[in-house]
């Protein structure tokens, strides 16, 4: 019996030991299983976290790329705006410079053209004035020649008329020599002689029966021209004789009226 109880006791002890061992084993197994599951979940979570981190990094990288592109676009936009403004300013400056240069060239060209025209016109005017002066000299020379020829011709005519005793007509032609004599600047002595000859012819009897009145009128007109335009070119003696001729012509005209 004592041995049976010992056996029972040993058996209980072994069962307890077995149960304890089983408990420890189950607990260990349970702990191992739990640790394995936990570790698996941890690994999964780590993997997910890493994936999230990678995605976040990717997103950050993409965001940085987008920001970089945006910065580049903004920089390019600012650069192009600045470049466009600079180009606009340069274009405006060049355009203004070209217009200014064109205006300056045009102004200089117009001034040179005006100056050229003025010089050409001045030369032409000087040439025309020179030609005109030469023409005036020629005309004056021709007038002098004509006056000389007329002067000499009137003396010839008056001499012939005096030879025929047509003294009134001869006085008219001799009177014509006074103006031409002054124009061709004959000597005062010669002009005085001619004036005295007019007065002498008007004082002589004449063989003319016709045209006396007409030639007296001609003589009076010629005398009027001498008194109005040439009297200041005569000396005092000549002016006195002219006045006497005027009186004589008036007397002859009055005598003709009395005869009528």
pTM over 0.75: no
Tell me whether residue 6 is in a domain: no
Cβ atoms of 161 and 169 closer than 8 Å: yes
Give me the chain's average pLDDT, please. 76
Query: What pLDDT score was predicted for residue 5?
Result: 45
Q: Is residue 54 included in any domain, yes or no?
A: no
What CATH number is attached to the domain comprising 168?
1.25.40
Distance of alpha carbon 168 from its chain centroid, rounded? 72
Domain count, the chain: 1
C-alpha distances (whole Å) from 6 to each of 9, 17, 20, 63, 231 are 5, 16, 20, 81, 203
Report the distance separating Cα 162 and Cα 171, nearest Å. Answer: 9
C-alpha distances in angstroms, 206 versus 3, 169, 175, 209? 230, 9, 17, 8
Max mean pLDDT among 39-48, 49-58, 208-217 falls in: 208-217
In a domain? residue 80: no
- The pLDDT-based confidence of 123 (bands split at 50, 70, 90) is confident
Asked whether residue 26 is domain-assigned, the answer is no
d(CA 144, CA 139): 8
Round to whole Å and give the CA distance between 11 and 123: 160
Q: Which domain holds residue 205?
A: 148-259
Q: Which one has a higher pLDDT value, 123 or 74?
A: 123
181 lies in a domain?
yes
Residue 196 is predicted with a pLDDT of 92
* HSE (side-chain half, CA atoms, 13 Å) at 29: 5
């Amino acid at each position: 019996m004592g041995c049976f109880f010992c056996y029972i006791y040993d058996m209980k002890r072994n069962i307890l030991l077995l149960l304890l061992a089983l408990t420890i084993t189950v607990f260990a197994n349970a702990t191992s299983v739990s640790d394995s599951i936990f570790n698996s979940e941890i690994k999964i979570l780590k993997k997910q976290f890493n994936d999230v981190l990678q995605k976040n990094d990717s997103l950050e990288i993409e965001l940085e790329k987008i920001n970089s592109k945006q910065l580049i676009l903004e920089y390019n936009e600012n650069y192009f705006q600045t470049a466009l403004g600079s180009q606009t300013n340069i274009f405006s400056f060049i355009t203004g410079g070209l217009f200014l240069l064109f205006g300056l060239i045009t102004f200089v060209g117009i001034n040179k053209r005006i100056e050229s025209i003025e010089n050409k016109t001045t030369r032409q005017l000087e040439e025309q004035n020179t030609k005109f002066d030469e023409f005036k000299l020629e005309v004056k020379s021709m007038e002098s020649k004509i006056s000389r020829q007329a002067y000499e011709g009137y003396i010839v005519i008056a001499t012939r008329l005096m030879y025929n005793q047509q003294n009134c007509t001869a006085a008219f032609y001799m009177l014509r020599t006074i103006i031409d004599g002054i124009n061709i600047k004959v000597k005062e002595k010669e002009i005085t002689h001619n004036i005295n000859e007019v007065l002498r012819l008007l004082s002589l009897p004449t063989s003319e029966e016709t045209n006396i009145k007409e030639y007296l009128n001609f003589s009076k007109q010629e005398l009027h021209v001498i008194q109005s335009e040439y009297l200041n070119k005569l000396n005092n003696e000549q002016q006195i004789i002219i006045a006497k001729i005027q009186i004589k012509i008036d007397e002859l005209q009055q005598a003709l009226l009395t005869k009528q």
